[in-house]
Amino acid sequence: MTSLILSPAEQDFITRGVEGGFRADGRGSLDRRQVTLRTNMISQANGSARCRMGHLNVGTDVLVGIKAEVNTWTPGEPDNIGSIVCNVECSPSAAQEFEGRGADELNIELTQLLDRILNGPQSGICLEKLCIIPKQAYWVLHIDALVLDVKGGIVDTLIWATRAALLSTKLPRVVVESIEDEDGNLQSEFDVVDDAEDQIAVEGVNNLPLTVTFNQIGKRYVIDASEQEEAATQARITVAVSPSMDICAVQKSGILRGFSPSLLTEILHTACKIAREEFSRFKDTFAAVLSNQSSNEANTGSTFLGAF
Amino acid sequence: MSSETIVTPGRRLGLLEEHDAGAGTYVRSGMIYSSILGTKTITTSETSEKPIIQVDRKSPLAIPSIGSEVLCRVIRMNPRAASVAIMMVGSTPCQEDFMGTIRHQDIRSTEKDSVQMINSFRPGDVVRAEVISLGDQRSYYLATTKNEHGVVFAQSTAGNTMIPVSWEEMQDPKTKAIEKRKCAKVF
Amino acid sequence: MATNAMDRRRINGPQRTVEPIYSKDTDPFASGRKDSRSLDQVRPIYMKTGPLSTQANDLSASSAAAASGSAFYEQGNIRVSCAVYGPRQGRKSNTRMGSFDCDFRYAPFSCSWKKRSHVRGADEKEISLMLEHAIAPAIRLDAYPKACIDAFVTVIESDGKSATIAAAINCISAALVDAGIEMYDSVAACSMGLWESQWVADCSQAEENVSSSTMIIAYMPSADEVTYMLQHGKTSPDQTDQAVQTCINMCTRVYAVLCRGLQASISE
C-alpha cells in the first residue's frame, strides 16, 4: 500500500522466511502484533476509539470517531431503518505519498470495504433500532476513520478501531410522542433528551465482525503483515467474520497474483479459526481499556496519548 | 515444416523438455503455454537442437527494452541532450510514441568531451539509436555510439533531403551545402 | 422541504405532496426464474472483439492513437464495451514491471433506477480498482517494463451490479487478448446471489435485490488461480465454500465460451 520498494534480496529473504514459517520480528505466520486500544477520548463525538497495531514507534494507527445525527426522511429512502455512513481518510502524516490526492485510491478502497462490512444486515447492527419515527426521522451514524500511521495491516486495524468505537458509542435517548390531529391521523413528534447520563448504546454492536487479512507471500501466507512483508505480498485477501462464525465479507486485492482454489478454501477456514481467538482477544483488550478508563476519568491530552 | 492450430492465452502447447519456447509463449513449471491469441507453429532450426514452439499473430506490440534498436525523430534539443520520439522498435512501429533522450556523452564513443550537440543532430532528423537504459520517469536513454547508429534521414536548411558524405557530414545535393551530423554508417 | 430554495423561474410542484405508491417487489423466484434459466445457468453470452477501430500499422497515423484492442460483450441484458490502449509510455516510475490501469464507467442511461451523473462516483472508482486487481494477475507485466496498459470500460446497459462487474472482467479480458497483450491466461468471471440458502448464478437486478449476499469470482482456469473474489453479505463458511466451488465451475464454462469466441475472431 505504501511505496516501499524492496530489493530482490530482501524480497527473497522475506519470501523464504514465510515459506519456512519464520518472520523477521519473530512472530509465527498467524500471530498478530501487539494491539493498543483506547476508547472515548474525543469528547465531541458520540463514540471514538484509537487502535494501534504494532509497537510504539513502528505500527499502524487508526483513529475512529462516530457522530450520530438525526436525519429527516425523504421519499425513496427505506421506511424504517437508520443508516451508517462511512468515510476513511489517510492522513498525509502517515506517509508522504498520501499528500494531496495521493491517498484517493486507498481512501476509496477502505471506505467501500468498511461500508460493505458495516452497512447492511451482515454487520449485526440493528438498523431498525436506529429509526426514530418511520418515514419521518432516523439516526445516521457517521463513522469517520483517520489513518494516522501506516506500517502494514491497515484493514484489520481499521476494523478493530471501528468495532471499539461502535461499542463505546452512546446515543442520546429519544422520546417519541404521538398525538392524534383533528383529521384523526396519528402525528408523531420526537425529542432528543439532552442528558449525558441518559444515553443508550447502539443495538447489536456485539455482533459486529472482525476481519482477518491474509497476505500471500511465496507459497504461504501470513496475517497482520508488517510494512516490509506487505511490500513482498503478491495477493491479499480480507475475510470479515462475525462472532457467530459466519463470513460477512470477503475481498481480494493485490495485482500480482491470485490464489489457487485449494489455498482459498484453506484461508477461509483458517480465517474462522483465527477469528475465534481474535474475538476473545478483542473482548479482553476492550475490557481492560474500560477498567483503565474508569479509574482515570480525566480526558486530558495526556490520557489521549497515554496508552501510546 | 510446421503444424498450425489457433490457440488462446493459457493453452498448454508442449513440454519444455521436447521444445524451446519461442515468441508469444511463456514457461511455467516445465510446460510451455501460449501467452497470446494466434496460430501455433512448430519450427525446427539448425541453430537449436529442439524444435521451437511459437505463437504468431499480427505484428507484436512494440516496446523498447535495453539493447533494442530504435528509430526516432528529434523533437527538441539543448546543449546537453536531445529529446526524441521513438517511432519504431526493431522493425515494429509503435502504437504511440515513446519519449527518449540522447545525452551528449552518448552520441559517440570517442572524444566525448568535444561533441557538440548542434554538430550532431537537428530537430526533425530521423535517428537510428540503441536503448542503453530504461532511463528516468519520463524517457528512455538512447545512444548512437555505434557506427551504424546516427542520423539516417535529414533535411538541409534549404529543405532538401541530404545525403551523407562522411561519418560526420551530410550534403545537400542541390545547393551543395554541407551540414554537420553524426551520420549512421550506410549499409 | 426545499421551500427555502424555491426557484421561481421553473414550474414548481405543489406545496403539499403525497408519496406515490410503489409497486411491491415481487418475488422473482416465485415460479422459477423469470427467464426460465436453471439456478446455475449463466445468461447467454455474445462477444465480439475489435468493434472499435484499431490503428493500422503505419507511421503516418502515429499522432492520433487508436485502441490496440477492443471488445464488446453481452450477457443477457448487460452490455459492456472495452478498449485497451498500450503498451504505451507509463506515467508511473516502476521500471521493473509494467502497470495496468483501468477506468470503469457507467453510461448515464445504463442503470434502471436513475440516471447516473457524469462525474465519476466513488463506486465507479472502486469498481475500477476491483477490475485492476482482477485482471492484472493475468497480464505478463514483467514483459512490459516501464510501460502502461490502459483499459477503458463503459457499461452501456447493466442488469445486476455484481453480474455487470463480472461481465466487465470478461470484456476486458477479451479486449486484452484482442490487443495482443501477453497474458498468462484469460480471466473469466461470474457472479452469484444467495437467496434463501440457495446460490443462484448470474443474478439480474430484480434477483439481486432480494438476495441476501452476493459473490463475484474471477478465475484463470489454465493457471488454476482465483484472481479476484468479493463477497458481500453474510453466509456460513460452508455456504462460502460451496459458492467458491460453484463459481469456479461456472467460470470455466464462461472461459470456454470466451476462448471459442476469440478463436473464431481470427479464423475468419
- The answer to whether C246 faces chain A, any CB pair under 8 Å, is no
Distance (Å, whole) CA A230 – CA A214: 10
Chain A residues near residue C223 by CB distance under 8 angstroms: 258
ipTM of the complex: 0.85
Q: Residue C63: pLDDT band by 50, 70, 90 thresholds?
A: very low
Q: What is the distance in angstroms between the Cα of C105 and the nearest Cα belonging to chain B? A: 24
Chain C residues near residue A269 by CB distance under 8 angstroms: 237
Whether B26 sits inside 8 A of C182 (CB atoms) is yes
Reference A84, options A60, A106, A105, A68; nearest CA is A68
Strand partners, B7: B38
Instruction: Name the residue with cell 445457468.
Output: C41
**Grid coordinates standing for B161?**
533531403
- The answer to whether A252 faces chain C, any CB pair under 8 Å, is yes
Q: Tell me, what's the pLDDT at C57?
A: 46
Whether B109 is covered by a domain: the verdict is yes
Q: Residue C5: pLDDT band by 50, 70, 90 thresholds?
A: low
Q: Tell me, what's the pLDDT at B179?
A: 92
- Please return the burial class of C177, using the count of CB atoms within 10 Å of its CB with bins 0-12, 13-18 and 19+: buried
Contact residues for B134 (Cβ-Cβ < 8 A; gap 6+): B65, B66, B140, B141, C95, C145, C146
Q: Tell me, what's the pLDDT at A180?
A: 78
Q: What is the distance in angstroms between the Cα of C188 and the nearest Cα belonging to chain B? A: 12
Which stretch of A261-270, B61-70, C159-168 has the lowest confidence by average pLDDT?
A: B61-70
B137 → chain C, closest CA residue:
C93
The minimal CB distance from B8 to the residues C89, C143, C186 is found for C186
- Which pLDDT tens digit goes with each residue over B156-179? 999 899 999 998 899 999 999 999
Instruction: Calculate the alpha carbon distances from C194 to C164, C202, C252 in Å.
Output: 17, 11, 20
Q: What is the distance in angstroms between the Cα of A302 and the nearest Cα belonging to chain C? A: 38
Q: Residue C259: pLDDT band by 50, 70, 90 thresholds?
A: very high
Q: Tell me, what's the pLDDT at C9?
A: 79
Which stretch of A151-160, A227-236, C57-66 has the lowest confidence by average pLDDT?
A: C57-66
- The answer to whether A116 faces chain C, any CB pair under 8 Å, is yes
Mean pLDDT over each residue of chain C, to the nearest integer = 84
| Spans of all domains in chain C | 38-52+65-267
Q: Which of the two residues, A79 and B156, has the higher pLDDT score?
A: B156
Section A16-26 average pLDDT: 91
Question: With 80 as the cut, is the pLDDT of residue A303 above it?
Answer: no
Whether C100 sits inside 8 A of A255 (CB atoms) is yes
Percentage of residues in chain A having pLDDT higher than 70: 94
Question: With 90 as the cut, is the pLDDT of residue C25 above it?
Answer: no
Chain B residues near residue C181 by CB distance under 8 angstroms: 36, 61
Whether C123 sits inside 8 A of A252 (CB atoms) is no
> Is B51 in the same domain as B86?
no
- The answer to whether C244 faces chain A, any CB pair under 8 Å, is yes
Q: Residue C4: pLDDT band by 50, 70, 90 thresholds?
A: low
Tell me which residues of chain B have a pLDDT lower than 70.
1-4, 58-60
Whether C237 sits inside 8 A of A264 (CB atoms) is no
Question: With 90 as the cut, is the pLDDT of residue A182 above it?
Answer: no
- Please return the burial class of C130, using the count of CB atoms within 10 Å of its CB with bins 0-12, 13-18 and 19+: buried
Which stretch of A177-186, A229-238, C28-37 has the lowest confidence by average pLDDT?
A: C28-37
Q: Which of the two residues, C115 and A118, has the higher pLDDT score?
A: A118
Contact B35, C183 (CB under 8 A): yes
Section C222-234 average pLDDT: 92
Chain C partners (3+ C-beta pairs within 8 A): A, B
Whether C234 sits inside 8 A of A264 (CB atoms) is no
Residue-range domains of chain A with CATH: 8-172+182-297 (3.30.230.70)
- Which pLDDT tens digit goes with each residue over C120-146? 778 899 899 999 999 999 999 888 888
Which stretch of A3-7, A294-298, C13-17 has the lowest confidence by average pLDDT?
A: A294-298
- Residues of C (46-75) whose Cβ lies below 8 Å from B: 55, 57-59, 62, 65, 68
H helix or E strand, kind and range, residue C171: helix C161-179
Q: Tell me, what's the pLDDT at A173?
A: 87
The minimal CB distance from B35 to the residues C88, C183, C262 is found for C183
Q: Tell me, what's the pLDDT at C268?
A: 64
**What is the number of domains present in chain B?**
2
Phi, psi of A240 (to 5 degrees): -100, 125
Whether B62 is covered by a domain: the verdict is no
Q: Tell me, what's the pLDDT at B19?
A: 87
Question: With 90 as the cut, is the pLDDT of residue C46 above it?
Answer: yes
Whether B136 sits inside 8 A of C178 (CB atoms) is no
Listed ranges A69-83, A140-154, C26-40, C59-73; the one with the highest mean pLDDT: A140-154
The minimal CB distance from B61 to the residues C180, C221, C259 is found for C180
Give the best residue of B59, B61, B101 to mutate against chain C (max C CB count within 10 A): B61
**Grid coordinates standing for C82?**
472495452
> Is B82 in the same domain as B172?
yes
Q: What is the CATH number of the domain that holds B47?
A: 2.40.50.100
Distance (Å, whole) CA A62 – CA C9: 49
Q: Tell me, what's the pLDDT at C2?
A: 45
Whether C93 sits inside 8 A of B136 (CB atoms) is yes
- The answer to whether A254 faces chain C, any CB pair under 8 Å, is yes
Question: With 80 as the cut, is the pLDDT of residue C29 above it?
Answer: no
Contact C191, C162 (CB under 8 A): yes
> Is B119 in the same domain as B96?
yes
DSSP C67-86: BSEEEEEEETTEEEEEEEEE
Contact A248, C233 (CB under 8 A): yes
Whether C181 sits inside 8 A of B61 (CB atoms) is yes
Listed ranges A126-130, A239-243, C1-5; the one with the highest mean pLDDT: A239-243
Whether B187 is covered by a domain: the verdict is no
Whether C228 sits inside 8 A of A237 (CB atoms) is no
Whether B148 is covered by a domain: the verdict is yes
Whether B61 sits inside 8 A of C140 (CB atoms) is no
The minimal CB distance from C1 to the residues A72, A250, A253 is found for A72
H helix or E strand, kind and range, residue B28: strand B25-28
Section C234-253 average pLDDT: 93
Whether B94 sits inside 8 A of C62 (CB atoms) is yes
> Is B80 in the same domain as B52?
no
Q: What is the CATH number of domain C38-52+65-267?
A: 3.30.230.70
Q: Tell me, what's the pLDDT at A298?
A: 47
Mean pLDDT over each residue of chain A, to the nearest integer = 87
> Is B114 in the same domain as B40?
no
> Is B76 in the same domain as B19?
no
- The answer to whether C185 faces chain A, any CB pair under 8 Å, is no
List the alpha helices (DSSP H) in A60-203. 104-118, 154-167
Whether C220 sits inside 8 A of A257 (CB atoms) is no
Q: Tell me, what's the pLDDT at A186?
A: 75
Contact A116, A196 (CB under 8 A): no
Q: Residue A302: pLDDT band by 50, 70, 90 thresholds?
A: very low
Contact residues for B102 (Cβ-Cβ < 8 A; gap 6+): B81, B82, B84, B121, B127, B129, B141, B142, B143, B144
Which stretch of A50-59, A188-197, C91-100 has the lowest confidence by average pLDDT?
A: C91-100
Which stretch of A122-131, C48-57, C75-84, C141-150 has the lowest confidence by average pLDDT?
A: C48-57
- The answer to whether B58 faces chain C, any CB pair under 8 Å, is yes
Whether B171 is covered by a domain: the verdict is yes
> Is B89 in the same domain as B157?
yes
> Is B21 in the same domain as B101?
no
Chain C residues near residue A112 by CB distance under 8 angstroms: 122-123, 126
A74 → chain C, closest CA residue:
C1
Instruction: Tell me the residue range of the domain where B83 lies.
Output: 69-180
- The answer to whether C37 faces chain B, any CB pair under 8 Å, is no
Whether B110 is covered by a domain: the verdict is yes
Percentage of residues in chain C having pLDDT higher than 70: 85
Whether B35 is covered by a domain: the verdict is yes
Q: Tell me, what's the pLDDT at C24?
A: 62
